[in-house]
Chains A and B, each alone.
Chain A
Amino acid sequence: MNWLAWRQHRKQFLILGVILALYAALLVPTGLHFWHTYQSALSSCAQNPANPSCSDLSGSLFQSTIDQAVLHLVPIAILFLPLILGLFWGVPLLSKEYAEGTNKLVWSQSVSRRKWLTVKLIWMLAGTAIFIGAFTALATWWSKTSNVLEMSRFDSGVFFEQGIVPVAYGLFAVSFGIMLGAWFRKTMVALGVILGLYIAFAFVLTPLAIRPHYMSPITVTSPMGPDAIQSKIPKGAWVLTRSIVDNNGKSIGDIFPSAPPECQKIIQQAQVPGHPSTFKAVPTPGGGDPIDDCLNKAGFHQVAKYQPSYRYWDFQEIESGIYLGLAAVAVAATYWLVLKRDA
Chain B
Amino acid sequence: MSQQTLTKNAIETKGLGKRYRSFWALKDCSINVPKGSVSALVGPNGAGKTTLLKLLVSLSNPSDGSATVLNQSPSQKPEYISGIGYLAQEIPMYARLNAKEHIAMGQHLNDNWDSELATKRLKELSIPLDRPVGKLSGGQRAQVALGLALAKKPKLLLLDEPVAALDPLARVDFLKSLAHAVTDAEGELTVVMSSHLLADLERVSDHLIILASGETQLCDDVEHVLKTHKLLVGKRQNAVNDDKYTVIQQSHTARESTMLVRLEDIKYHDERWHIRDVDLEEIVLAYMGQKRDLADTMAAKGGTQ
Q: Do the two shown chains form a genuine complex with each other?
A: yes
A22 vs B83: C-alpha distance when bound (angstroms)? 49
Residue of A nearest to B95 (CB): A100
Contacts of B76 in A (CB 8 A): 107, 112-114, 339
Interface residues of B in 57-81 (CB under 8 A from A): 57, 59-61, 76-78, 81
**Is residue B226 contacting chain A, with contact meaning CB distance below 8 A?**
no
**Is residue A33 contacting chain B, with contact meaning CB distance below 8 A?**
no
**Is residue B108 contacting chain A, with contact meaning CB distance below 8 A?**
yes
Residue of B nearest to A342 (CB): B60
A7 vs B78: C-alpha distance when bound (angstroms)? 22
Q: Are A104 and B81 in contact (CB under 8 A)?
A: no
**Is residue A195 contacting chain B, with contact meaning CB distance below 8 A?**
no
Q: Are B92 and A100 in contact (CB under 8 A)?
A: yes
Contact A101 to B88, CB < 8 A, known contacts A110-B78, A342-B61: yes
Q: Are A105 and B88 in contact (CB under 8 A)?
A: yes
Q: Encode contact with B along A90-113: 1 for CB under 8 Å, 0 otherwise.
A: 000000000011101111111111
Contact A101 to B105, CB < 8 A, known contacts A7-B97, A108-B59, A343-B59: no
Contacts of B108 in A (CB 8 A): 1-4
**Is residue A8 contacting chain B, with contact meaning CB distance below 8 A?**
yes
Of A4, A108, A109, A339, most B-chain CB atoms within 10 Å: A108
Contacts of A1 in B (CB 8 A): 108-109
Contacts of A340 in B (CB 8 A): 61
Nearest CB of A to B279, in Å: 34
Partner of A102 from the list B92, B109, B110 (CB cut-off 8 Å) is B92
Q: Encode contact with A along B97-113: 1 for CB under 8 Å, 0 otherwise.
A: 10001001110111110
Q: Are A104 and B109 in contact (CB under 8 A)?
A: no
Instruction: Name the prevailing secondary structure of the A interface residues.
Output: helix
Contacts of A105 in B (CB 8 A): 88, 92-94
Contacts of B111 in A (CB 8 A): 110
Contacts of B84 in A (CB 8 A): 108
Contacts of B95 in A (CB 8 A): 100
Q: Are B77 and A7 in contact (CB under 8 A)?
A: no
Partner of B104 from the list A3, A8, A112 (CB cut-off 8 Å) is A3
Instruction: Name the prevailing secondary structure of the B interface residues.
Output: loop
Of B81, B90, B95, B112, most A-chain CB atoms within 10 Å: B81
**Is residue B82 contacting chain A, with contact meaning CB distance below 8 A?**
yes
Q: Are A102 and B54 in contact (CB under 8 A)?
A: no
Residue of B nearest to A109 (CB): B109
A138 vs B60: C-alpha distance when bound (angstroms)? 47
Residue of B nearest to A3 (CB): B108
A1 vs B104: C-alpha distance when bound (angstroms)? 11
Q: Interface extent on A, as a size class?
A: 20 to 34
Q: Are B78 and A112 in contact (CB under 8 A)?
A: yes
Q: Are A7 and B86 in contact (CB under 8 A)?
A: no
Contacts of A2 in B (CB 8 A): 108
Contact A3 to B57, CB < 8 A, known contacts A108-B84, A112-B76, A339-B76: no
Q: Are B109 and A4 in contact (CB under 8 A)?
A: yes
Interface size (B, Cβ < 8 Å)? 30
A342 vs B88: C-alpha distance when bound (angstroms)? 14
Residue of A nearest to B97 (CB): A7
Contact A4 to B81, CB < 8 A, known contacts A100-B92, A108-B59, A114-B76: no
Partner of B106 from the list A100, A104, A109, A113 (CB cut-off 8 Å) is A109
Interface residues of B in 102-150 (CB under 8 A from A): 104-106, 108-112
**Is residue B152 contacting chain A, with contact meaning CB distance below 8 A?**
yes
Contact A110 to B110, CB < 8 A, known contacts A104-B86, A342-B59, A343-B60: yes
Contacts of A343 in B (CB 8 A): 54, 59-60
Contacts of B59 in A (CB 8 A): 104, 107-108, 342-343
Contact A4 to B92, CB < 8 A, known contacts A104-B59, A110-B111: no
Contacts of B60 in A (CB 8 A): 342-343
A333 vs B89: C-alpha distance when bound (angstroms)? 28
Contacts of A111 in B (CB 8 A): 78, 109-110
Contact A102 to B104, CB < 8 A, known contacts A109-B81, A342-B54: no
Contacts of A8 in B (CB 8 A): 94
Contact A106 to B109, CB < 8 A, known contacts A3-B104, A343-B60: yes
Residue of A nearest to B149 (CB): A108
Contacts of A110 in B (CB 8 A): 78, 81-82, 109-112, 152
Q: Are B152 and A109 in contact (CB under 8 A)?
A: yes
Partner of A112 from the list B57, B77, B94 (CB cut-off 8 Å) is B77
Contacts of A102 in B (CB 8 A): 92-94
Interface residues of A in 323-342 (CB under 8 A from B): 339-340, 342
Contacts of B90 in A (CB 8 A): 101
Contacts of A107 in B (CB 8 A): 59, 76, 81
Q: Are B92 and A108 in contact (CB under 8 A)?
A: no
Nearest CB of A to B115, in Å: 13
A342 vs B58: C-alpha distance when bound (angstroms)? 9
Closest 10 CB pairs of A and B: A101-B92, A342-B60, A343-B59, A110-B82, A109-B109, A108-B86, A104-B88, A3-B108, A110-B110, A110-B78
In the complex, 27 of the A-B residue pairs with CB atoms within 8 angstroms, ordered by the A residue number, are A1-B109, A3-B108, A4-B109, A7-B105, A101-B90, A101-B92, A102-B94, A104-B59, A104-B86, A104-B88, A104-B92, A106-B109, A107-B76, A108-B57, A108-B84, A109-B106, A110-B109, A110-B110, A110-B152, A112-B81, A113-B76, A114-B76, A339-B76, A342-B59, A342-B60, A342-B61, A343-B59
- Not counting A104-B59, A108-B88, A343-B60, a sample of 8 additional A-B residue pairs whose C-beta atoms are within 8 angstroms of each other reads A1-B108, A3-B104, A4-B105, A7-B105, A102-B94, A110-B111, A114-B76, A342-B61
User: Taking beta carbons and an 8 Å cutoff, which residues of B are in contact with A?
Assistant: 54, 57, 59-61, 76-78, 81-82, 84-86, 88, 90, 92-95, 97, 101, 104-106, 108-112, 152
User: Taking beta carbons and an 8 Å cutoff, which residues of A are in contact with B?
Assistant: 1-4, 7-8, 100-102, 104-114, 339-340, 342-343
